[in-house]
Amino acid sequence: MKIKKVIWCVGLALILLPAMLYVGLAVYVLQTAEIEELMVSTSPGAVHIPPKVVREWIFAFRGAAEDVERFHASIGIAWIFASPRQDWDKMASFWLGKGVDINHRDPRTLLTALQGTALAGESEQVEFLLKLGADPMVRDPKRGFTALELAERGLAHGFYANTALHDNMLRSILD
């Protein structure tokens, strides 16, 4: 009887040990990953972590001033578009509530998220940013273009395959 208990305990330990190691490793990866890595990757590092776990970790444990600074050192609020569409509202509310500027300029391109998405013809993202309060009148400091003018330039240069989506996007910017 004693041998059965020992075997049962050893078997249970062999089953639980890998799970405990995985959880410990996942927590370590979530704690040490840069915020950009968490936003764009559902599997930061070499450990697969389910996307929902990553998102909930961000909401529960990230958003400090250091994370906001890192956002502003890169593409700002546009990071939310790395998340699935159904999470945009929650991500935007979270990050805007932490102080991320909706009209922040990407330091490399000097474009705001609205200008970048307008130029790329991402009409759903343009509408979303406008609803959040992005300013369509902000001008690109290099060339002086607004989001509307960048969207028109994107169409003129053949960036868009679907001109109907482009027209909807232009209406959103104009409204």
* Structural domain contains residue 35: no
CA 147/CA 127 separation, integer angstroms: 12
Q: What would the two tokens of residue 151 be?
A: 């969207």
Residue numbers of the domain that contains 91: 51-174
* Structural domain contains residue 80: yes
The total domain count for the chain is: 1
Task: Give the DSSP H/E element, type plus range, for residue 15.
Answer: helix 2-32
* Structural domain contains residue 11: no
**pLDDT given at position 172:** 65
* Structural domain contains residue 9: no
Percent of the chain with pLDDT over 90: 12
**pLDDT given at position 133:** 93
- Write the CATH number for 124: 1.25.40.20
Lowest-confidence pick of 7-11, 29-33, 125-129: 7-11
Q: For residue 129, name the pLDDT band (cuts at 50, 70, 90).
A: very high
| pLDDT tens digit sequence for 85-123 | 888 899 899 999 999 899 999 888 889 999 888 888 788
CA 103/CA 134 separation, integer angstroms: 6
* Structural domain contains residue 111: yes
* Structural domain contains residue 110: yes
* Structural domain contains residue 6: no
Nearest residue to 88 (alpha-carbon basis) of 124, 47, 142:
124
CA 19/CA 13 separation, integer angstroms: 10
* Structural domain contains residue 151: yes
| pLDDT tens digit sequence for 19-75 | 777 777 777 777 778 887 777 664 445 567 777 888 888 888 888 888 888 878 887
pTM, full prediction: 0.72
